Chain A
């Protein structure tokens, strides 16, 4: 049955008792030493000059001070070296790898290799050839490669694979071998042990650790938002993505989750404080602008998550509710182009905006929520377009003059709450807080409201009813749930939360036009991106849409060079993610079990909205 002489490592190794690495020629001890040495040298090489000319952005020409992409490689190299030390059991580093070091070393080495080689390649390509590398650049390329080789040669437990059936056709054999190879490859990066339980600690220490984690998160976010050129941002994506994966493999993430779950409310409050500190890390208003747009996008995505993630109602026209809120607020804002000459105070404008969205939500929901599945999606898609076209046509010529048609409502005045002028700069504790930073704080407040609504409604009778409806509507009805009513509540609640965000958005952007509220377009927020943020981030979770929205906003914003291929790249990324991680980047335990039920044994799940 096993005539697999030519079927190389995967099958033969599985028959041997001795565990080997993905790369066979290095003994385990040498491999580990190589990984440690390589990563150490990589760290050292970050202090060398990598190129001779400051033309390459970031100026990597200095000896002794890492800059730009070098810093990222430095961080990753340190991470790899620390994991490698931890695998030797060096005192003081063992806490770094509570779930075993080898998988973490591999991913960290891969991350180092990826960022380094990306940098080297970028230098070579943008300056016209590898000749532009200083010796430092060549050295770091070599050391990171050696680190990776050493890491990949670390032995691992090979997953059992079925040998190839020699009676299969050639193509089937090929597929089978490819499958076996892939299984072995995945096995190389699999975490073998579960993370150690955290030792009992004083709660002050735990809170300090959480503070540290949040500070680190704020640091990473600030760095990502502040990346000044394309190369740095791409490097950041590689570094952050794979570095995060490496920390995840080491088991630190699991321990962090244990901690944050224990102090959940505290963590959420802390996260908001950390977010509120963001404007203070900035010297000008440039990145606060990004911050406030991300917040708007993320808040709306979180509202959509109630509708889609909890109640399972596919809403493809959600951005229209944002538009309704924004237009309602703009019309009563006292803008000179508004046909109503009223200027309501902000609290009243918020009520008007959220209320208008609520009314539209009920109007759209009442007739359509009796439909199930695809029909609802089509009707909401239609509503999104109807809103845009109706706004376009109520310009005084095609219809009544309400919205100024495609010109929109311009010069919306800045908010002024209790004498606090949002348009002006303020000095708080020696920091200058500009216009967008002001709105950033306001938006943060609104997001806090949405988070509160999401958490509280999700963990209640009505939230359970939503999930029950999503799971099995017939059974939910038979349990006494008034399906229509409960769905309408979800729909209207989601709509009014979007409207709430819209009221602020109108003031932030100065102008509201119908073209801001498309189904799909290159600029978020639009319905397709909102849905993508929810799905990418993780449906039914709280942090998922926030992460998804941040990425979906930052990537098109930072990678201007992709231009017209942006949507294409976005589509490819979405397909890949759905293939390999259908539960989204941040999965709640429930979804993880749903999509990977064969991968792991069932364990105690956490509640929705983790």
Chain B
């Protein structure tokens, strides 16, 4: 499912930079349940790293550990060498911003206000400054507004700055959430399923947006179920299965790994043909899709059913649904559960 052309593009950017994020031995237990077990992950500057895994693998929990919404039971998270405190707002202050799997905008605030809230940590004006309108207050507000408008322009929402966030269409809400995260001038941005529920065109646009974010010098760690999207985008991909990191590497390595395929599609019964199926299929199918965005959905939908067919395993039909249609089925079935998870 790789588009080799795209990864070539992507690697033109400097990959081997400074280590931005360094998670060591992160373990998260909820009572007897170990949601995340001893996960190590590094993200370097200028890199886009993908985090994939079947539903319930612990991806969002791992995100919550990184961003301080959860206090990891064991392990530590370093950002540019310093250990992060397990407090959400301090993590953001340090330079890690995030978006949420189920969009969590401030619905009754305007688009501009949403981005301004994202700017919170980079402004220092407190209550007294606001009440007495101390010198610098107006300047800081004007600067923040200017920066926010820049970001809105970046995502193409500058004309809707005064709309209420909840009146935006779905795709634009996703974009706004990204802009809000970017407003805190992060060194690393964590995107939790940025294309969930999007159509192929929107996914394509999101891809461009993420490359543009990377080009701004911000490292990206992204959770996604859309494999085409992930392998297009990421310099490295880590696979999380049942709370443990299975493998980490470039897309080729990950795609051809038996255990990954087994995790998604089930254990092959007869032969090793499973590991070969994705590799030959993908370039052939994905290559034309580079040219026109209109054709895009056709090959990607063709891809998925064919892969399991080739394996000839009896459980394949049952398993193909989650693997292939995860982008759509995922957020209907998974959202309520993950919403609770985030609230906790």
B174 interfacial contact with A, CB 8 Å: no
Kindly list the 9 A-B residue pairs having the minimum CB-CB distance in the complex, ordered from nearest: A480-B121, A480-B92, A460-B130, A475-B104, A477-B88, A471-B106, A602-B167, A468-B117, A480-B89
Which one of B72-80, B108-116, B216-224, B249-257 is at the interface? B108-116
For residue B117, which residue of chain A has the nearest CB? A468
For residue B126, which residue of chain A has the nearest CB? A462
**Assuming the A-B contacts A457-B131, A477-B69, are A605 and B117 also in contact, with contact meaning beta carbons closer than 8 angstroms in the complex?**
no
Contact, CB under 8 Å: A483 / B89: yes
7 residue pairs of the A-B complex, CB under 8 angstroms, read: A460-B130, A462-B125, A462-B126, A479-B89, A479-B121, A479-B181, A489-B127
Question: How far apart sit A598 and B98, CA to CA, in the bound complex (Å)?
Answer: 32
Question: How far apart sit A476 and B92, CA to CA, in the bound complex (Å)?
Answer: 11
Which A residues, 209 to 244, have Cβ-Cβ distances below 8 Å to chain B?
Answer: none
Question: How far apart sit A597 and B129, CA to CA, in the bound complex (Å)?
Answer: 36
Which residues of the other chain, A, contact B69 by a CB distance below 8 angstroms? 474, 477-478
Contact, CB under 8 Å: A593 / B121: no
Contact, CB under 8 Å: B162 / A605: yes
- Expressed in whole angstroms, the minimum distance between the Cβ of B40 and any Cβ of chain A is 23
The contact of A457 among B93, B98, B127, by CB within 8 Å, is B127
Contact, CB under 8 Å: B164 / A605: yes
Question: How far apart sit A456 and B117, CA to CA, in the bound complex (Å)?
Answer: 16
Contact, CB under 8 Å: A593 / B164: yes
Which B residues, 143 to 195, have Cβ-Cβ distances below 8 Å to chain A?
Answer: 144, 162-164, 166-167, 180-181, 184
- Expressed in whole angstroms, the minimum distance between the Cβ of B338 and any Cβ of chain A is 12
- Expressed in whole angstroms, the minimum distance between the Cβ of B105 and any Cβ of chain A is 7
A464 interfacial contact with B, CB 8 Å: yes
Q: A-side interface residues toward B, CB under 8 Å?
A: 452-453, 456-457, 459-465, 467-468, 471-472, 474-483, 489, 493, 590-591, 593-594, 597, 602, 604-605
Contact, CB under 8 Å: A605 / B342: no
Which residues of the other chain, B, contact A605 by a CB distance below 8 angstroms? 110, 162-164
Question: How far apart sit A521 and B175, CA to CA, in the bound complex (Å)?
Answer: 50
Contact, CB under 8 Å: A479 / B180: yes
Contact, CB under 8 Å: B117 / A481: yes
- Expressed in whole angstroms, the minimum distance between the Cβ of B194 and any Cβ of chain A is 15
Contact, CB under 8 Å: A590 / B92: no
Which residues of the other chain, A, contact B97 by a CB distance below 8 angstroms? 478
- Expressed in whole angstroms, the minimum distance between the Cβ of B128 and any Cβ of chain A is 10
Which residues of the other chain, A, contact B184 by a CB distance below 8 angstroms? 479-480
Question: How far apart sit A478 and B89, CA to CA, in the bound complex (Å)?
Answer: 6
Contact, CB under 8 Å: A474 / B104: yes
Contact, CB under 8 Å: A471 / B109: yes
Give the size range of B's interface with the partner: 35 or more
Question: How far apart sit A597 and B166, CA to CA, in the bound complex (Å)?
Answer: 10
Which residues of the other chain, A, contact B343 by a CB distance below 8 angstroms? 474
- Expressed in whole angstroms, the minimum distance between the Cβ of B315 and any Cβ of chain A is 38
Contact, CB under 8 Å: A602 / B131: no
**Assuming the A-B contacts A464-B116, A475-B100, A480-B184, are A590 and B108 also in contact, with contact meaning beta carbons closer than 8 angstroms in the complex?**
yes
Sample of 18 more A-B contacts, CB < 8 Å, known A460-B129, A593-B164: A456-B130, A457-B130, A459-B130, A460-B130, A467-B106, A471-B107, A471-B108, A474-B69, A474-B88, A474-B343, A475-B105, A476-B117, A478-B100, A479-B120, A480-B93, A590-B108, A593-B167, A604-B162
Contact, CB under 8 Å: A593 / B88: no
B264 interfacial contact with A, CB 8 Å: no
The contact of A453 among B109, B131, B162, by CB within 8 Å, is B131
Contact, CB under 8 Å: A472 / B127: no
Contact, CB under 8 Å: B123 / A461: yes
Question: How far apart sit A480 and B182, CA to CA, in the bound complex (Å)?
Answer: 12
Which residues of the other chain, A, contact B27 by a CB distance below 8 angstroms? none
Which B residues, 65 to 92, have Cβ-Cβ distances below 8 Å to chain A?
Answer: 67, 69, 88-89, 92
- Expressed in whole angstroms, the minimum distance between the Cβ of B57 and any Cβ of chain A is 22
Contact, CB under 8 Å: A465 / B120: yes
Question: How far apart sit A457 and B130, CA to CA, in the bound complex (Å)?
Answer: 6
For residue B103, which residue of chain A has the nearest CB? A475
Question: How far apart sit A456 and B131, CA to CA, in the bound complex (Å)?
Answer: 5
B308 interfacial contact with A, CB 8 Å: no
Which residues of the other chain, B, contact A460 by a CB distance below 8 angstroms? 125, 129-130, 137, 141
B306 interfacial contact with A, CB 8 Å: no
Which residues of the other chain, A, contact B130 by a CB distance below 8 angstroms? 456-457, 459-463
Which residues of the other chain, A, contact B163 by a CB distance below 8 angstroms? 602, 604-605
- Expressed in whole angstroms, the minimum distance between the Cβ of A567 and any Cβ of chain B is 32
Question: How far apart sit A482 and B92, CA to CA, in the bound complex (Å)?
Answer: 10
Contact, CB under 8 Å: B92 / A468: no
Which residues of the other chain, B, contact A602 by a CB distance below 8 angstroms? 163-164, 167
Question: How far apart sit A493 and B128, CA to CA, in the bound complex (Å)?
Answer: 11
Contact, CB under 8 Å: B131 / A464: no
B133 interfacial contact with A, CB 8 Å: yes
Contact, CB under 8 Å: B92 / A479: yes
B46 interfacial contact with A, CB 8 Å: no
Contact, CB under 8 Å: B104 / A481: no
Which residues of the other chain, A, contact B243 by a CB distance below 8 angstroms? none
Per-position contact with A for B306-344: 1 when CB-CB < 8 Å, else 0? 000000000000000000000000000000000000110
Contact, CB under 8 Å: B127 / A493: yes
Question: How far apart sit A269 and B258, CA to CA, in the bound complex (Å)?
Answer: 74
Which residues of the other chain, B, contact A480 by a CB distance below 8 angstroms? 89, 92-93, 118, 120-121, 184
Which residues of the other chain, B, contact A464 by a CB distance below 8 angstroms? 109, 113, 116-117, 120
Most buried by B among A472, A478, A593: A478
For residue B137, which residue of chain A has the nearest CB? A460
- Expressed in whole angstroms, the minimum distance between the Cβ of A424 and any Cβ of chain B is 34
Question: How far apart sit A457 and B104, CA to CA, in the bound complex (Å)?
Answer: 24
Question: How far apart sit A461 and B133, CA to CA, in the bound complex (Å)?
Answer: 12
Question: How far apart sit A489 and B69, CA to CA, in the bound complex (Å)?
Answer: 22
Question: How far apart sit A481 and B123, CA to CA, in the bound complex (Å)?
Answer: 11
Question: How far apart sit A271 and B181, CA to CA, in the bound complex (Å)?
Answer: 41
Question: How far apart sit A452 and B131, CA to CA, in the bound complex (Å)?
Answer: 8
Which residues of the other chain, A, contact B88 by a CB distance below 8 angstroms? 474, 477-478
Which residues of the other chain, B, contact A462 by a CB distance below 8 angstroms? 125-127, 130
Which residues of the other chain, A, contact B107 by a CB distance below 8 angstroms? 471-472, 594
The contact of B125 among A453, A461, A471, A493, by CB within 8 Å, is A461
Question: How far apart sit A432 and B69, CA to CA, in the bound complex (Å)?
Answer: 63
Which residues of the other chain, A, contact B164 by a CB distance below 8 angstroms? 590, 593, 602, 605
For residue A459, which residue of chain B has the nearest CB? B130
For residue B183, which residue of chain A has the nearest CB? A479
- Expressed in whole angstroms, the minimum distance between the Cβ of B124 and any Cβ of chain A is 9
Question: How far apart sit A472 and B67, CA to CA, in the bound complex (Å)?
Answer: 16
Which residues of the other chain, A, contact B89 by a CB distance below 8 angstroms? 477-483
Question: How far apart sit A5 and B6, CA to CA, in the bound complex (Å)?
Answer: 67
Question: How far apart sit A459 and B337, CA to CA, in the bound complex (Å)?
Answer: 36
Question: How far apart sit A456 and B137, CA to CA, in the bound complex (Å)?
Answer: 11
Which residues of the other chain, A, contact B110 by a CB distance below 8 angstroms? 605
Question: How far apart sit A593 and B163, CA to CA, in the bound complex (Å)?
Answer: 11
**Assuming the A-B contacts A468-B106, A472-B106, A604-B163, are A479 and B127 also in contact, with contact meaning beta carbons closer than 8 angstroms in the complex?**
no
Per-position contact with A for B213-257: 1 when CB-CB < 8 Å, else 0? 000000000000000000000000000000000000000000000
